[in-house]
Amino acid sequence: MGLADFLANTPERCYICKKAVFGHLLALIREKGFRHLAHGANAEDRGDYRPGLRAARELGVAAPLMDAGFTKDDIRQVANDRGLFVWNKPAMACIATRFPYGTPIDSIRVEQVKQAEQVLAAAGLVGCRVRHHGDVARIEVSLDQLPTLVVDPLRHRIVEQLRKLGYLHVSADLEGYVSGSMNRVLDDDHGRSRPKD
């Protein structure tokens, strides 16, 4: 939150953030005597615009799961086979992905989105996103949860709670949850129709 270039929320936001985070982590591991740093990107991350992967490559941060061709499902299966309690934990992307490119990120908006997503989680909706479009909250849930979201009394309660958080309009995206949906606005220069970073 201290990087002005990150807060400007350009399509390079993830690159800016990862370059700073990995830079700090590399300094820390070198101080502690470690030689390598790895991150958890997987093979499916190649299928979307992921400028943070470019930052990792530039800094020599390894992506062993991606290199081994592991998908999210593969990782969950291995974790389940090993008895790890987090094997089915929902994916949780950076909160900055909830904002359209060009919408400045600030602590007030971030807190608004966090609280809105907590409302949905408390209602039993899993792996959902609240996309912040100014005074509109666009809710993305998996298609199997969509009927639950739009039936009263839950629908009414969620609308009321999100309005208390400052949203004037609360909408449900009929397409359901789509990872990377905010990247649709990008042109070819940002990787929409070519192999992804």
State the 10-residue block means of pLDDT for the chain, 197 residues long.
95 96 97 96 90 96 97 96 93 92 96 98 95 98 96 97 98 93 77 40
- Cβ(75)–Cβ(68) under 8 Å? no
| CATH (one of 3.40.1130, 3.30.70, 1.25.10, 1.10.20) for 95-178 | 3.30.70
Q: What is the pLDDT of residue 196?
A: 39
Q: What is the pLDDT of residue 48?
A: 81
Q: Note the residue count of the chain.
A: 197
CB atoms within 10 A of CB 21: 15
Q: DSSP assignment of 66-110, as one string?
A: HHTT--HHHHHHHHHHTT-TTTTPPP---GGGGS-TTS---HHHH
Show the tokens assigned to 73.
Answer: 């499902």
Per-domain boundaries in the chain: 4-81, 95-178
Residue 171: which H helix or E strand, with range? strand 169-172
Show the tokens assigned to 122.
Answer: 């408390």
Q: Which residues, 6 or more positions from 1, have their beta carbon under 8 angstroms from its beta carbon?
A: 7, 105, 107
Q: How far apart are CA 155 and CA 12, in angstroms?
A: 36
Show the tokens assigned to 21.
Answer: 């985070």
For residue 123, the one-letter residue type is A
Beta strands in the chain (DSSP E): 129-133, 136-140, 169-172
- Cβ(87)–Cβ(51) under 8 Å? no
Q: What is the pLDDT of residue 82?
A: 97
Q: What is the pLDDT of residue 190?
A: 52
Q: What is the pLDDT of residue 192?
A: 44
Show the tokens assigned to 22.
Answer: 């990995």
Q: What is the pLDDT of residue 63?
A: 97
